[in-house]
Structure 1
Amino acid sequence: MVRINSKLRQAVGFNPTKKSHGMEVHEMCRKIKENQITLPLYQRDVSWTLKKAVDLLDYQLFGKAPVAPISINEINIVDTENMVSQISFIDRELISNDKILNKHLSVVDGQQRLTTNFKCYINHPDFVNIVLDVSASKFKIIESSPTNYQIPVGILLNENAQLLENYLTERGLLAKLYPLLINVRSKMHNYNYTINVADDLTEAEQIEWFEILNNAGSRVTKIQMTFSKLKVKDFDIYTEYTLPFKETFKSFGVEELFSPFTTNVSYPIAALNPAYEVIVKKRNHNTNYAPIPSDTKEDILIKLDVSKLREIIALTLKSLTLTLEFLDNYDSLNDIDRVDYISYVIGFFTYSGVDSIEELPQSLTNELLNWVTTVNFNNQTNSSRRSIFNDLLSKTDEIYQTN
């Protein structure tokens, strides 16, 4: 006798692809603006570069195949116990449960593509340097004011068509460019995305779906999931910490050190360890609090009072700035090919207690420069990397005691 599991019978009787449908870009953007399309709390921040955004816009205008579908969880049952809290696009504001109505759309996969289109729709300042170059027939990133043949995307694709007409009229280009550009605008706004829809997924089901969709790329990490819970306490790890962390790297021209997705999250969180030990543990160092991904303490950090966590973040960001200033001042920054060097020196400055690089004694400055040029992180075990950090911290004892 062959037993047939009832789950198999249920599976063949349900085809989720029957719920897939199309939605135009302008309609999705309108819904995003009105918070009818939102993000689940666990979604990370926007990570696409301007180049990625330009590539998408070019593909939507010139591509010969559709862009990949958007995956959405449709919320029909507002179950405050089991439903994933929702946040808005870009500013990541928490959405009150009483604003989530029947058939509310929560984006499981597609945030970066939707955000790109939405930033054009609202003329977001992030996109001020992206233009459609009609002479080159492509979207571009420019560094100066646009020429007459370069139309800012925030004007071209804005929700208000009058902005485009006014822009061209002011430059005497209405008769020459308006007929073509209104067709470009129409195509981009009416571009149709396939929407794959699931109903009332639990958090675990959403994560599973997301990770299957992204099995060759980004994964929702445990760190992300843990810190996302703090949003309900009006704390967003992305806007308050990881984004300023990455922007500081960018301001010194070393943002390429954060190109891998896992580095974007794990290294900034690991960099909080020294400040936690200084502020909470009163400079009592434990070997497994090194600034390495395997030693991240998200489970401990989220149990802190938010004001204490913000104090730790402020000290870490201050130490990051001191680190990059120090390395840049002594021409060592361009020689660094791993984020580990910066993470460790962050810990050094955190433990040292100095407020400026000028406060470092010359002997300690020389020791730190020598450490940067001689330490080797390649093929090191976690134990070895912890020992390297311990040795580096020992150099701060003298200056800390002096202060």
Structure 2
Amino acid sequence: MLPLSVRRRSVCAAAAGVVLAASTLFIAPGAQAAPMPIDTPIFCPPNIAQIGVPFVPSSGVYDEDGGSYTVSITGALPAGLALVERTGLSPKITGTPTRLGSSTFIISLLDQYAQTKQKTCFLDVVPAGSNIERIGAVDRYAEAVDIAYANLAPGADPVIYLASGENFADALSASALASQHGGSVLLTTRDTLPSSTEEYIMRRSPSHVVVVGSDNTISESVVAQLRATSGGSTITRIGGVDRYETSRMLIDDAKFGAKASSELFVATGTKFPDALSASPAAATLSAPVLLVNGTASALSADEKALLIARGVKSATVFGGEDTLSAGLKNDLAATVGAAARIDGVDRYAVSAHTVAKYFPAPVAPSDTVYLATGANFPDALAGGALAGAKHAPILLVSKSCMTAEVATEITRLKPHHLVLLGGPNTLDATLGTLPLCS
């Protein structure tokens, strides 16, 4: 443990009383007000440092609004870095890294009431001149929060789409729309709002929170937590009897749905891999992603009605015929006039082919390519809103290597920033050298 005491102005409750909304809570004479839990956010330093290059994060390890904390580090920082005190400010982790490698450590805050708060952080030291970066957190819920912070615009968030972190379907439709509305995708469990998600919403006070899915996917207890957390945010649930109706309802919503577009992307609602790169590609055309039953031989009447009402003239389906049937693609073409398929031998090939079609080199204006694991869905779906907002692609990779097709796309795009979505347990920092899978 590396303790460091940092004194800031106190946030003790008033002895005489606490005003809450329009009423007053009186504390009996001599009684002690219960200490408030630590609500100050902890900030991990940037996930990537370069050997021999001074590492100077722009912010300290916690928000500098209030509190009096002892800050400590559990676990080893990379060689050459240390927690450094700053008079009257939050301390920083800074220095010059001297050794390559990956470190995991915990930042802890201790207040005057012996209450604690912790956050797990990752930091990779890579060769000087590397273009690799990382947005990584301890779990999928905290990861989505860190991605949302990377997507921040000045002022409050206009909208947050809250989707299940336990199932991919609703987040897939939401990811494409979030970038259209300048928002982010956060994840939740069915019955409890994760602390990282709750803290973000409390701190950012978004204008709107859209709960994506029925109460079978996100329960009313989570909505109740949202109402208690989000301050003045309006909370809207958009959910149907199944993932397919939810997708249609979300696209068709007048306020939070898809903007006008003659293009439509179509993905199966039963398998996630082939559509993981679709959201940022859809953003290039302001197109929504519609989920369908890929095993069906034709569109449903409700799906056809949506396409006709939106004036869709062209559709693109993702994945092979084992993912989305030939009959369904043919019915799409008959309904809207044209339908194309993006396919490949595996999820990585579909990802590379998607990027090849929708992202000509160079990747302007963001000059960034995002990498996500192809083994699971949360990082790519939360990252889809960020990538869409930055007009940048997402490519799928394995933990420590990539296919030749993916490496070819990265080389073609010549990004200045190659951003890993996920911690070191998910993606290795050595991916910056474009290692090929054997």
- TM-score bracket relative to the smaller structure: under 0.3
Compare CA radii of gyration and give the structure with the larger one: 1
TM-score if structure 1 supplies the norm length?
0.25
- Select the structure that is richer in strand: 2
Higher relative contact order (CA 8 A, sep 6+): 1
- Select the structure that is richer in helix: 1
TM-score if structure 2 supplies the norm length?
0.23
